[in-house]
Amino acid sequence: MRTANPALAADTFIGTRGLAAGSAMSIQGTVNKTAVLLAILLVSSSWIWGQAFAGAPVQGFVGFGAIAGFVVALVTIFKKAWAPITAPLYAALEGLVLGGISAMFERSYPGIAIQAVTLTFGVLAALLIAYTSRLIPVTANFRLGVAAATGGIMLVYLASFVLGFFGIAMPFLHDSGPIGIGVSLFIVVIAALNLVLDFDFIEQGAQNNLPKYMEWYAAFGLLVTLVWLYLEIIRLLAKLRNRR
């Protein structure tokens, strides 16, 4: 099974089938773990948000959260059995990132954070309904298309990061013009479609009786996508505000 999310790769299923039901991954268990991770992220982001609006410098926390979160994510991907520990840690670190970035956007665009949160969970709910009702068939071509588009976006972001060291801006990626908004909208759509692949991974994981710790791992993978989707939505909203 192919998925664009590197945390939820096809080789996860190799050698993990056939566990007893009580010790195997379940959909409800994954939902519960996801709720725990979201609660941790909310607490962490709320704290840094409060610090930011109290006048405390939060850039260091954001930078630490981003770097440490990336490291913890890599550890989780390569050491899946550690997910019950590393997934909550990742959620706490990403909360620092999202809370700090959201506060920065909120200062420039009042009300944008709650709009981004609402849209993110609205997209999550809509796609979950579409997936469970089979309105979006997860075919091999669908997986391949989303994976290819996601990989292309990651390469563009990597190129933009490298070019930034030389003072070169990637055309349209950060612009608020019609093309720049179109680019952001496309990225939001691809990020959202990754949620469908995450849902499929969770369902397939439960059907294949993956180990119980994979509930934490699948919840971690879903959180990775939600974090990406939220950041892309808030960037898109900021671009739209700039057009006013």
- For residues 60-85, give the mean pLDDT: 97
Residue listed under structure tokens 């609205």 = 122
Bridge partners (DSSP) of residue 24 are 211
pLDDT in tens, 108-155: 999 999 999 999 999 999 999 999 999 999 999 999 999 999 999 999
Could you report the per-residue pLDDT of 2-57, keeping only the tens digit for each? 455 666 655 565 545 555 556 899 999 999 999 999 999 999 999 999 999 999 99
For residue 235, pLDDT beyond 60: yes
Task: Dump pLDDT digits (tens) for 191-203.
Answer: 999 999 999 999 9
Give the model's confidence band at 238: pLDDT under 50 very low, under 70 low, under 90 confident, else very high.
very high
User: What is the arithmetic mean of pLDDT over 158-164?
Assistant: 87
For the chain, give the mean pLDDT. Answer: 91
The domain spans of the chain are 20-242
> If you search the block for the tokens 């006013």, which residue do you land on?
244
Q: Is 101 exposed, middle or buried (0-12, 13-18, 19+ CB in 10 A)?
A: buried
- Report the C-alpha gap between 85 and 76 in whole angstroms: 9
Looking at residue 161, what is its pLDDT?
Answer: 84
pLDDT value, residue 1: 47
Cα(242)–Cα(90) distance, integer angstroms = 32
User: Once rounded to an integer, what is the mean pLDDT over residues 206-220?
Assistant: 96
Q: Is the pTM of this model over 0.85?
A: yes
- Across 72-85, average pLDDT: 97
Contacts of residue 4, Cβ cutoff 8 Å, sequence gap at least 6: 143, 146, 147, 149, 150, 151, 190, 194, 197
